Amino acid sequence: MIKTTTLILISSFAWSQGGNQLQYRTLDSLHLKAIYFWRTYSDSIHPYTEELYKRARISGSPNLYLQAYHLKALTTEKQESKIYTDSLYSLAISINDPKYIATAHFLHGRNYYDKGLYKASLDNYLLCQSLLDKDVDSVSLSRLVKDNIGLIRILIGDNQGAINIYNDLLEQYKTDGEESSYLGTLFSLAVAHHQNGDFIKSMDLVDQGLSSLEEDNKDFGPYFTSILGANQYGLGEYKKALVNLKRSNLFFKDNDDAMRQAIVHYYMGKSFEGLNLRDSSLHEMKQVDLLFQEHPESLYPLTRGAWEMLLDEARSNGDSESELRHITTLLMIDSITSGNFKYINQNLTKRYDMPQLVQEREMLRSRYKRKNEQLIYGLISVVLVVLLYFIYRKYKPMNRFYDSMVHGHNRSTQKVQSRKIVLTKDKINEISDGLAGLESENFYLKPNITIKEVAETLGTNNKYISLYLNRHAGKDYSTYINTLRIDHFIQKLTVDPTFVKRYTLDAMAQQCGYTSNKALNKACKRLLGKTSSQLLQEHSGPNSRKGTSSS
């Protein structure tokens, strides 16, 4: 206790001594030095800010007030920061100072972001950027705007857009030797690569960050450690992930960083789930829920899966009260996100449904269109054959001519068939192994997947694929694809309870390669003699919600 008091007294004395010396500094040096301290995350900014604010009050100079309001907005938080930012904006507008108008827009954007109001945040960043493009020449402010737009891109799932921004900024900060900005950008880049699924690249960036830490920027350590844990979860190293996530969370708790705490608890929950420790996993997801109830601004789209797990648990326990509460929370989350950013709903769906499912759904619409085109071409071919037959019968004197045509065509077809017919044992094994590999990757859910594309992927001829399917699988290509899709549908019903709970029959059909339940139903009837509703009843569990679309 004595040591702590002594340290406080020494610190206060140093501050006051520094404050006495500051009165002899020029105005420009005060402001520039304060900005430097802000960029380097140094507490030394405070006496400089107070000195500048004191001089502004004494002189009444608008330019001094602009600098003072700027620093006050930077060094305060929440409502107090907003008040100084509003004052900065009003004064800058009144004297028509584009630089400080742009700065105020940036500060408003930062404050809105901290509140979770991402649409308003982006709007202000874009207003700031428009001024930078036209009237204001400020490299540092331009970089800050790009940095913060990058954060929003990460938040809504535009990870590649964020990667492009941060790769550019990283080189600039590295060249200029701005170590703190460099480390912050390195962390953001690691997050974007992680959310893009490139865990190895993200790990490399984390290693660069941790190896670059020094005493004056060691607070970046827990941030890099948290993304290290998230990457280890992504790579299936659940025990290692838990160690690093727990370690980083101690720092986030001490610094009241609710959003980072929620993200860490979510990844801890997923890691426990990977270790089949469901109770521990649920405990972590409940921590995410508690943080959101206390700090709504802590919502991060990625963590929405926590409430999905809690909702499933409430349903399996028959806990109607908890089920209602979690559904209400999910609706509240959707309302917050959709109201704050026009793209957030689409990207939340991507995280909730998993990125590959959304990609598959969009791919499948194109495939159904092509299937209809094939059906039309088939009908046209049949009509032409029938028409030719009647022409042949009607003009018997020309039989010899038609015979020569038909026999000539047959002979040429036989030549082609003779060339196709030669499927060596090695070729059969090659096609068999190749198709098995593609099936394991769910290739049949790719849009517009033609037999020619399959053949090109396997490095062979589409005629060989067709012959192989007819001879060794006993079906044509279309039947082969539909069989795989229906098997996929049955498998999802059997092993994935959330598939049934989350989707209607129409949505289920879209996940399995069809644009609607009507198309799925038709394929099921043709191949299995059953409707999709019958398959749903046979293969889904008794507690699963049935689709609402008619068969």
48-57, 195-204, 387-396, 540-549: which is most confident: 195-204
The more confident residue out of 227 and 520 is: 227
How would you write 502-527 as a 3-class SS string?
HCCHHHHHHHCCCCCHHHHHHHHHHH
Cβ neighbourhood burial of 426 (10 Å; 0-12, 13-18, 19+)? exposed
pLDDT at 19 over 60: no
Give residue 194's identity as a one-letter amino acid code.
H
Q: Which two tokens stand for residue 467?
A: 């012959």
Backbone dihedral region for residue 158 (phi beyond 0: left; psi -120 to 50: alpha; all else: beta): beta
pLDDT in the model for residue 250: 92
pLDDT in the model for residue 42: 59
pLDDT in the model for residue 285: 94
Q: Binning pLDDT at 50, 70 and 90, where does residue 352 land?
A: very low
Q: 33, 14 in Cβ contact below 8 A? A: no
Give the gyration radius of the chain's Cα atoms.
32
- The total of other beta-carbon atoms located within 10 Å of residue 262's CB is 24
Sequence-distant (6+) residues with CB within 8 A of 513 are 364, 367, 368, 444, 445, 481, 485, 488
As a whole-number percent, the residues of the chain with pLDDT over 70 amount to 75
The model's pLDDT over 518-528, given as tens digits with 9 standing for 90+, comes to 888 888 888 88
Q: Which of 72, 135, 137 is nearest to 107 (CA)?
A: 72
Span 128-134, average pLDDT: 81
pLDDT in the model for residue 474: 81
The model's pLDDT over 276-301, given as tens digits with 9 standing for 90+, comes to 999 999 999 999 999 988 888 777 77
Q: Binning pLDDT at 50, 70 and 90, where does residue 15 land?
A: very low
The more confident residue out of 31 and 345 is: 31
Average pLDDT, the chain: 76
The model's pLDDT over 55-74, given as tens digits with 9 standing for 90+, comes to 777 777 888 788 878 888 88
136 by DSSP, 3-state: which? coil
Lowest-pLDDT range, 41-55, 66-80, 131-145? Answer: 41-55
Strand residue runs (E) in 269-309: none
The model's pLDDT over 85-112, given as tens digits with 9 standing for 90+, comes to 898 899 889 989 888 898 999 999 888 8
How would you write 354-419 as a 3-class SS string?
CHHHHHHHHHHHHHHHHHHHHHHHHHHHHHHHHHHHHHHHHCHHHHHHHHHHHHHHHHHHHHHHHH
| Domains, the chain, ordered by start | 14-137 (1.25.40), 357-539 (1.10.10.60)
Q: Binning pLDDT at 50, 70 and 90, where does residue 262 land?
A: very high
- Cα distance between residue 129 and residue 110, in whole Å: 14
pLDDT in the model for residue 31: 63
The model's pLDDT over 484-497, given as tens digits with 9 standing for 90+, comes to 888 888 888 888 77
pLDDT in the model for residue 288: 93
As a whole-number percent, the residues of the chain with pLDDT over 90 amount to 17
Backbone dihedral region for residue 541 (phi beyond 0: left; psi -120 to 50: alpha; all else: beta): beta
Q: Binning pLDDT at 50, 70 and 90, where does residue 390 land?
A: low
252 by DSSP, 3-state: which? helix
